[in-house]
C-alpha cells in the first residue's frame, strides 16, 4: 500500500491521507493550529504518520484509517 499525505492551507483542516493507487481517503490530519511544514509516513505495517508544524507541535497518527494518537509540544527556552 502506497500512501500520500496532502498538506493544505485551510482553516478547517490541515491535511488528508489518500491511497496513492485509487485516491481513496484514509484519514484526516488534525491537531495543529498552524501550517504543517514536515511529514513522515512509515510505508510498512504498522502504518504510522508524523507531522510537525509551525505551532511547535509534533502530532502522531496510526492507521489506516489514520486516527490521531498524541501530540508532543516543544517549548523554546
Cell of 15: 491535511
The total of other beta-carbon atoms located within 10 Å of residue 43's CB is 10
The number of folded domains in the chain is: 1
Question: Per-residue pLDDT tens for 5-47?
Answer: 777 766 666 788 888 888 888 988 887 888 888 889 898 899 9
Domain coverage including residue 37: 3-73
Report how far residue 2's alpha carbon sits from residue 69's, in angstroms, rounded to the nearest whole number.
21
Cell of 53: 508544524
- Split at pLDDT 50, 70, 90, the class of 50 is very high
Question: 45: Cβ–Cβ under 8 A, 6 or more apart, which residues?
Answer: none
Question: 75: cis peptide before it, omega within 30°?
Answer: no
Amino acid at each position: 500500500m502506497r500512501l500520500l499525505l496532502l498538506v493544505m492551507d485551510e482553516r478547517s483542516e490541515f491535511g488528508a491521507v489518500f491511497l496513492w493507487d485509487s485516491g481513496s481517503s484514509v484519514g484526516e490530519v488534525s491537531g495543529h493550529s498552524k501550517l504543517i511544514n514536515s511529514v513522515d509516513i512509515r510505508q510498512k505495517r504498522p502504518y504510522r504518520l508524523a507531522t510537525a508544524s509551525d505551532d511547535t507541535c509534533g502530532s502522531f497518527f496510526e492507521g489506516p484509517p489514520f486516527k490521531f494518537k498524541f501530540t508532543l509540544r516543544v517549548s523554546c527556552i
